[in-house]
A and B are shown apart, each in its own frame.
Chain A
């Protein structure tokens, strides 16, 4: 089994096409990152995120022959997850939202958005800013999460969202601007 765990993503994909059990190893590798990614962008309860993730894995399995080795498998898997979430939100207009991001995750976005040092932030301020971030449209919120929480580089975000580099940069910049404006409008100035 350890030998199998040492296989690359590409090798596991080829084996999974013949044996679904091998796909279990791929799922094992990516269930954590994908679960957190879906949770962060959907802000859904854990059970709902698990249901979505199961659907995402089924889609990944069905599309295994579509995988292009020029891409990182993780970027491709994130892309399928992103598309599935977008489809999900199209179908479900009203959804139950939770405070899905942990404090440290919010802080990462806040730091990026308002360009401050982590050590001068306090918990009250984080709580206030959270509300502003949650109000951002999903495309801005998602790109901020990918960049500052998932810590993906621009190339990976391009591959996940299938957007040109310029568009990714614009989304990040506008997301940060919108966050700063919302904070200003709500007189949040606690730093």
Chain B
């Protein structure tokens, strides 16, 4: 048997082997935690975006489409982000396990803490409207992403389902020239049964949403005209204060007795979160 200790010490001296500097281990150790932090931040961003996507939707739409809110909610839920959160939790779990002392933590505890951090940080990001900004940046940069999520614009861009929205270009008699958010021109036909919400001001430049019927050839027979933001029922909430279209005036105020009502509060390109919206 060789003299192991002397041989080892001899090798250490001969090959000038020295302990590796501590900073290398610290970089590796804190690097692992930093990667974990980034992973959790990604999950928090997903929570904030989910909150934004759900909060900016118009939940009156299912009633116009004769669907239950629950079923409609399932159809528009941003599953892509939920999947990402799932992946983040799994990655965080194994990330913690790979840290120096990660094997010591109970699996349930790791998962609970990871979910807790993601949710709390996600709420903080949602409160700062990070979700809206992030979502809109993604829509701008990756058009394919815009098709994967439901926005208020896409909700109100379904003429085949009787939902249309856009900017008024011109008002002529009982007809409105409207450009939808995809840039398509529509001739919106109004009749005596058309309901106009009190706060709607029908004049060029205003953004409105419409419930009616697609008659083909870019003609839309409208039954209800509402402002882009909300239901447009004014201070009274959901009363019957709307106007039935009956004349040929070029500008129709929803409530002529209250000029303030003609102001539309929401920009067409801004959701409830205040961020840029798109498809």
- In the bound assembly, the distance between CA atoms of A70 and B35 in angstroms comes to 24
Chain A: interface size category: 20 to 34
Contact B9–A64 (Cβ < 8 Å): no
Contact B8–A66 (Cβ < 8 Å): no
The prevalent SS among residues of A at the interface is helix
- In the bound assembly, the distance between CA atoms of A66 and B22 in angstroms comes to 7
Among candidates A23, A28, A50, A68, residue contacting B2 with C-beta atoms closer than 8 Å:
A50
Contact A63–B20 (Cβ < 8 Å): yes
Q: Indicate if A53 sits at the interface (CB-CB under 8 A).
A: yes
Chain B residues, Cβ within 8 Å of A94: none
A162 and B103 in contact, given A61-B17, A63-B20 (Cβ under 8 angstroms)? yes
Of the 9-residue stretches B54-62, B104-112, B208-216, B249-257, which lies at the interface with chain A?
A: B104-112
Chain A residues, Cβ within 8 Å of B107: 164, 166
Within 8 A of B (CB), among A2-55: 16-17, 20-21, 23-24, 27-28, 31, 46, 50, 53-54
* Chain A, residue nearest B28 (CB): A66
Q: How many residues of B contact A (CB 8 A)?
A: 27
A70 and B101 in contact, given A24-B5, A28-B5, A31-B5 (Cβ under 8 angstroms)? yes
A17 and B1 in contact, given A27-B8, A54-B11, A61-B12 (Cβ under 8 angstroms)? no
Nearest chain A CB to B228 CB, angstrom units: 54
- In the bound assembly, the distance between CA atoms of A55 and B155 in angstroms comes to 67
Chain A residues, Cβ within 8 Å of B104: 158, 164
Given contacts A24-B6, A54-B11, A68-B100, 13 further A-B contacts (CB under 8 A): A20-B12, A20-B13, A23-B9, A24-B5, A31-B4, A61-B17, A62-B18, A62-B20, A63-B19, A63-B25, A65-B19, A65-B24, A158-B104
